Chains A and B, each alone.
Chain A
């Protein structure tokens, strides 16, 4: 157990009007110090739920950790009280959310929202907090810092707001930064700027990053390790080289094929995996992916595949040997 973070058999339930739904099941992965782990998967596969579970923010949104442990520096976050968590959140572990436009409080200034966390965790004077806040704004590439400190969120663009969110997340030099699709709401140029920024910051601070994305291209650029999720479960994980060179799950293979290529004829239709992700209340019997899988056999319809481990990589597929051998057909 050398990980900074070890998530073991994590399951999350949501209480809804129509009963309990299992949003994620039996999720296990590890993040080592200084490592960047990407969690990829389609919309609704449980990426955000996983990150909220690690932050223990689920309780505020009718969710609960029904099983498993979240070991951070050998301590189980799943067993901590919210009071204890408030010393860890924003301090040792930080998160950047998916929606920069609404993630900042509209009635407080940028400066105040930045300084608040610093003052809470580090018990420094207001002057010191202010100095640190300005440093952070500089670090994330914001100009006119003196003015920005006194501006309100609505006076900033989406990209600027996400930079402020990153500054807030970095405020107390976290060991682990969770970035939940930090760029999906932003346009492409800003996206690459933000990703470059995250990469630079990682190099400077040696923190670990969990980057959530549904873009395999992004994962390829910045990940050390990739965790692929589908309908609430991990279907495959391994190093970025292993996954890109030799994907062993049909879903991973499909995701890789759907990365837009710079080269080649532009008229060629972009590959996309047929079908859609099932709703959590109507999961198919057997393997969750089988209705969309061209490798599906009788066994896949009946039995759910376990996560098989080999060479530091894991895959949940009955037919992974076939998958390795055969090219995915172009549809």
Chain B
């Protein structure tokens, strides 16, 4: 176990380095500068002075080096647009995104597995076709378009759900305001889980050990929901690790459309304002979140599949 954690830790550091290098250099290729320098009445000298003060005139490599040294000491710097510490700005947004992400994963996994089993059991029957059609629609319709359609229908026309914001203190309000964002986010993840569960289930039920469990006289219910499902879930668990990055990139669009004050919108704001420090900070935090969630997925995986031995 310890060995596994250490190895993983090493890999993660390398990954974070690569991600930050790419982000840093791409970001600096984009024209424009931090929005605090964009005041319309600022003179050229004033801009130069600020740029000098922020170290923006140094070569990119030097600036990345400086950023990296600070970051390793836990200092992600100050936001160039607001002057607050980057860490604070991120942390005030994290709970909102987490709220969306956790609900989306929960719903995708639970509903996805149920629909996947149903689809496999009713293979090539109408239920299977309906589920499959829904999956294709969910995966292929762009989420910004779907989000706008949802707002037009449920907020503007019917007035059932708020079109933006996080809602007030009451649970009901929180529920109604997060409902649409969660549903839109799920359209990118749920169909994948449905398909994986279906194909995995179909593959497993044709295997010999399923015949053995029937030969023992076990009821079909036990054969399917205990013997088959337990095996079928193994590949489904590993796909969850892949879905987490997809989900987080989905929040960029969904949070923007729904005015949701999470990480996804923060990175848009940061990029628009050329707030280099904030962009880097969000990148690092999101990468760490992805790494940790994949780590958790791997641990669960090894618990479910006894043939995987490298995790304790």
Residue of A with least CB distance to B213:
A105
Closest A residue to B231 using CB positions: A107
User: Does the CB pair B218–A86 fall under 8 Å?
Assistant: yes
Contact with A along B176-214 (1 / 0, CB 8 A): 000000000000000000000000000000011111111
Q: Which of A92-100, A286-294, A312-320 contacts B (4 or more CB under 8 A)?
A: A92-100
Interface size on B, residues (CB 8 A): 23
- Flag if B218 contacts A116 (CB, 8 Å): yes
- A152 engages B214 (CB within 8 Å): no
Closest Cβ of chain A to B196, distance in Å, is: 17
- Residues of B with C-beta under 8 A to A88: 217
* Neighbouring A residues of B212 by C-beta, 8 Å: 97, 103-105, 165, 168
Query: Among B209, B219, B222, B307, which residue has its beta carbon within 8 angstroms of that of A103?
Result: B209
Across the interface, B218 reaches (CB within 8 A) one of A95, A107, A117, namely: A117
B304 interfacial by beta-carbon distance below 8 Å = yes
A73 within 8 A of B: no
Contact status A94-B215, CB under 8 Å: yes
> Is A90's CB under 8 angstroms from B215's CB?
yes
Q: Which of A57, A99, A104 contacts B214 (CB 8 A)?
A: A57
A6 within 8 A of B: no
Q: If A102-B209, A104-B209, A152-B307 touch, does A116 touch B216 (CB 8 Å cutoff)?
A: yes
Known: A107-B306, A152-B307. A121 touches B217 (CB 8 A): yes
A-B CB contact pairs (8 Å), 26 listed: A57-B215, A60-B211, A83-B219, A86-B217, A86-B218, A86-B219, A89-B214, A90-B215, A90-B218, A94-B215, A97-B212, A103-B208, A105-B209, A105-B212, A105-B213, A106-B307, A107-B230, A107-B304, A107-B305, A108-B230, A116-B216, A120-B216, A120-B219, A154-B306, A154-B307, A171-B216
Residues in B lying within 8 Å of A, measured CB to CB = 207-220, 222, 227, 230-231, 234, 304-307
Chain A residues at the B interface, C-beta cutoff of 8 Å? 55, 57, 60-61, 82-83, 85-91, 94-95, 97, 99, 102-108, 116-117, 120-121, 152, 154, 165, 168, 171
Given A99-B208, A105-B213, A165-B212, 11 more pairs with CB closer than 8 A: A57-B211, A86-B217, A87-B217, A89-B215, A97-B208, A97-B212, A97-B215, A106-B209, A106-B305, A107-B230, A154-B307
